[in-house]
Amino acid sequence: MNSAKKGEKMVSEERLRLTFTDIAPQGDALARHDGEVVFAANGIPGEEAIVLAKRRKRYIVGEAVELISESPHRIAPRCPHFGKCSGCQWQHIDYPFQLALKRQMVARQLRERGNFPDAPVLATLPAAEPWHYRNHARFSVDPQGQLGFIHKHTRDFVPIDFCYLMHPRINSVLAALQGKCAGAHQVAVRYGVNTGEQLIQPKLPQIDIPSGQPCYEEELLGRRFRISAPSFFQVNTPQAESLFNVLRDHLHLKGAELMIDVYAGVGTFAALLAPLVGRVIAIEESAAAVKDAAVNITGLDNIEFLQGKAEGVLPQLEGVPDAAILDPPRLGCHRRALAALLQLSPRRIIYVSCEPATLARDLRVLCEGGYRLMSVQPVDMFPQTYHVECVATLVRGDPSPVLVLASASPRRRELFFVLGLDFEAIAPPEDESLPTDAENVEQVAEQLALKKAEAVAKVKGEKTVVAADTVVVHRGTIMGKPRDTDEAQQMLRRLRGEEHIVLTGVALLSGGRSYIGHAATTVTMRRYSDEEIAAYIASGDALDKAGAYGIQDPLFAPAERVDGCYLNVVGLPLCELAGMLRAAGVSVGARPLWALPPQCQECEGRGCLVGEIA
């Protein structure tokens, strides 16, 4: 159980029976008790549990110690130290649900701190290996020379002999150092996953392993980087490569751009992007990082490195950059740096952040300064923890894109982003009435989509307009969106344990021509309980979806089996849309496999998106 913080009055513990409804920014499960917010470790949204709790001034903290109802996403933690060292928060949650929670956390921060009510947050990009991924460990040392971690709340020292997040090489070093580091306060171990080099700081004369190295080298995407002891480098090497792939793909480079790399560190982004652009201006405050960068950009004559604070250097730059990369520390960008960037007005900004709260704050400043938030891609650099990296893409508000999505659905917008195209979204007039002249259910879905597209085309007629509409067909009866909670409950009970068809009509209007099509998927629902139906309807999502259910909802998870296109059920079959866009003359380039939703990556028909032969 977490103790009170230093300086806070100690109070007795209470046993509270609570239902967890959400996840907090620091990874605890959220609940409410008599109007007060409760933060509980070891909980999962959707569970009911007994929480051993203590009251603080404005909230209650505690730990779930007895489960009354268990989440289907709960698993047994691997590590015997889980909960004691506090380095991991989510080893008790299965990995797919960790990814869903991280996306949810990012979207909430953007909504609450950035005033983005429907932020375009994509599905979290998973790590190929959610264990043993860390290339950097910082161990605390007790007076006896033992290595371990300090609990973030109790400040207790927890000796560690093995960590499931650390690379095996770091665990080997840990075993060799354990009990032999008396006199040291901390020991840092860094390892080059792709080079085999390691760094141990400080110098430890009492051990046989070499230590005190000033730097080590790591390799990313075939390029070597020197990293000195004080310099920052991503702790997850494979995901650092994935992060760069996301960034590069969202820059839409053509080869001659002027790019500025702010908070450039040891020059990772600058060096990897230099061959793809005309010129790079990199800005970094840390003298140690700039010295590393001087080595790392060897052979690249189109990079200029400027040492100084971003808010001091940016106002001195001249010209209009085509693109800017922001990768600030956790505290985010200085206000003066953002103001200077708005003056420079690059065409496109990519903001990389490890802190969703400060990301939301800074994105609001940039959007109020004339930028549009195109997408936010969470990247899971830190599995088993609540931490998440994000890549946000912004473009200047003018000129507006030539593509218009006639939809208010955040799900359809998220899927549209996967195609890598700039677009604006406009909500069509609300009209859920079914066409009376359709000959079959396929035509019903197509005509509904066409009606949306035509309504938006009246005000955006010079642009290419895309619309989609989804219906659920059960035993020949069409089920659209429910009109109220009673109808939603009836729909969900009717579909329970049953097979049905989901049809999405897609319509595209461009240059006076129309393109119409549809996709169909067979879905079999599991036998969920009435209590699950009530909880899902209480969330408010049921009234926004055909048939009253969201297949992608991680808590309700109503589908037992899906035969056909999963994205069609979510609301936008990308294969069908990509074909229409190409037919209308809109260039839809092949997408890298990692950029596609997991369901598309596994689909035999993904060739229309990744350029492969299906």
d(C-alpha 504, C-alpha 442), whole Å: 8
The whole-number average pLDDT for the span 458-484 is: 88
- Mean pLDDT over each residue of the chain, to the nearest integer: 90
d(C-alpha 364, C-alpha 372), whole Å: 10
The whole-number average pLDDT for the span 128-154 is: 93
pLDDT at 438: 67
d(C-alpha 396, C-alpha 448), whole Å: 33
pLDDT tens, 259-270?
Answer: 999 999 999 999
Domains identified in the chain and CATH numbers:
1-74 (2.40.50.140), 111-128+236-396 (3.40.50.150), 136-216 (no CATH), 403-610 (3.90.950.10)
Q: What is the helix, strand, coil percentage profile of the chain, to 5?
A: 30, 30, 45
Range list of H helices, 81-132? 95-114
d(C-alpha 353, C-alpha 578), whole Å: 31
- Tell me the one-letter amino acid at 514: S
Whether pLDDT at 537 is above 80: yes
How far is C-alpha 139 from the chain's CA centre? 28
d(C-alpha 521, C-alpha 39), whole Å: 40
Q: Are 196 and 179 in contact (CB under 8 A)?
A: no
Q: Are 559 and 525 in contact (CB under 8 A)?
A: yes
Sign of CA dihedral 83, 386, 91, 52: positive
The whole-number average pLDDT for the span 14-31 is: 92
Sign of CA dihedral 411, 417, 419, 421: positive
Q: What's the half-sphere exposure (Cβ side, CA atoms, 13 Å) at 269?
A: 31
- Higher-pLDDT residue of 408 and 441 is 441
pLDDT at 408: 77
pLDDT at 2: 41
The whole-number average pLDDT for the span 388-403 is: 83
Q: Are 77 and 358 in contact (CB under 8 A)?
A: no
d(C-alpha 575, C-alpha 522), whole Å: 17
d(C-alpha 254, C-alpha 56), whole Å: 55
Q: Are 512 and 483 in contact (CB under 8 A)?
A: no
Is residue 373 classed as helix, strand or coil in its secondary structure? Answer: strand
Which of 86-100, 223-237, 422-436 has the weakest average pLDDT?
422-436
Whether pLDDT at 8 is above 50: no
Q: Which of 85, 181, 354, 600 is catalytic?
A: 354
The whole-number average pLDDT for the span 536-559 is: 85
Burial of 138 (0-12, 13-18, 19+ CB in 10 A): exposed
Tokens of 313: 């250097």
When pLDDT is cut at 50, 70 and 90, the band that residue 592 belongs to is: low
How far is C-alpha 544 from the chain's CA centre? 23
Which of 39-53, 532-546, 593-607 has the weakest average pLDDT?
593-607
How crowded is residue 205: how many other Cβ atoms within 10 Å of its Cβ?
A: 8
How crowded is residue 29: how many other Cβ atoms within 10 Å of its Cβ?
A: 28
Tokens of 143: 């007076």
DSSP letter at 559? E
> CA triplet 24, 26, 32: central angle to 5 degrees?
30
Q: Are 216 and 133 in contact (CB under 8 A)?
A: no
Q: Closest Cα to residue 374, out of 420, 314, 434, 433?
A: 420
d(C-alpha 263, C-alpha 349), whole Å: 13
Range list of H helices, 389-483? 410-418, 441-457
How far the first Cα of the chain sits from its last, in Å, is 54
Backbone angles phi, psi at 261, to 5 degrees: -115, 105
Q: Which residue has the tokens 């141990």?
A: 200
pLDDT tens, 341-355?
Answer: 999 999 999 999 999
Backbone angles phi, psi at 517, to 5 degrees: -160, -175
pLDDT at 314: 96
The whole-number average pLDDT for the span 120-137 is: 93
d(C-alpha 36, C-alpha 7), whole Å: 22
Whether pLDDT at 6 is above 50: no
SS3 per-residue string spanning 326-338? ECCCCCCCCHHHH
pLDDT at 1: 38
Q: Which residue has the tokens 């260039």?
A: 587
Q: Are 446 and 437 in contact (CB under 8 A)?
A: no
Tokens of 185: 């306060």
Q: Closest Cα to residue 445, out of 343, 519, 500, 376?
A: 519
Backbone angles phi, psi at 539, to 5 degrees: -70, -20
Max mean pLDDT among 9-13, 425-429, 517-521 falls in: 517-521
Whether pLDDT at 183 is above 60: yes
d(C-alpha 99, C-alpha 89), whole Å: 14
Whether 354 is catalytic is yes
The whole-number average pLDDT for the span 355-378 is: 94
Q: What's the half-sphere exposure (Cβ side, CA atoms, 13 Å) at 330?
A: 3
Element (H, E) at 282: strand 279-284
pLDDT at 595: 66
Please compute Rg for the chain using Cα positions: 26
Q: Which residues contact 494 (CB under 8 A, 6 or more apart)?
A: 474, 479
The whole-number average pLDDT for the span 204-228 is: 95
The whole-number average pLDDT for the span 226-240 is: 96
- Higher-pLDDT residue of 17 and 55 is 17
Q: Closest Cα to residue 495, out of 550, 449, 541, 442?
A: 550
d(C-alpha 518, C-alpha 450), whole Å: 11
Question: What's the predicted TM-score (pTM) here?
Answer: 0.77
pLDDT at 365: 96
d(C-alpha 184, C-alpha 455), whole Å: 70
% the chain with pLDDT above 70: 94
Q: What is the largest CA-CA distance in the chain?
A: 86
pLDDT at 399: 55
Is residue 111 classed as helix, strand or coil in its secondary structure? Answer: helix
pLDDT at 432: 62
Burial of 49 (0-12, 13-18, 19+ CB in 10 A): buried
Q: What is the arrangement of strands in the sheet containing 303-307, beginning at the earlier edge strand?
A: 303-307, 279-284, 258-262, 323-326, 348-353, 389-396, 371-379
Is residue 225 classed as helix, strand or coil in its secondary structure? Answer: strand
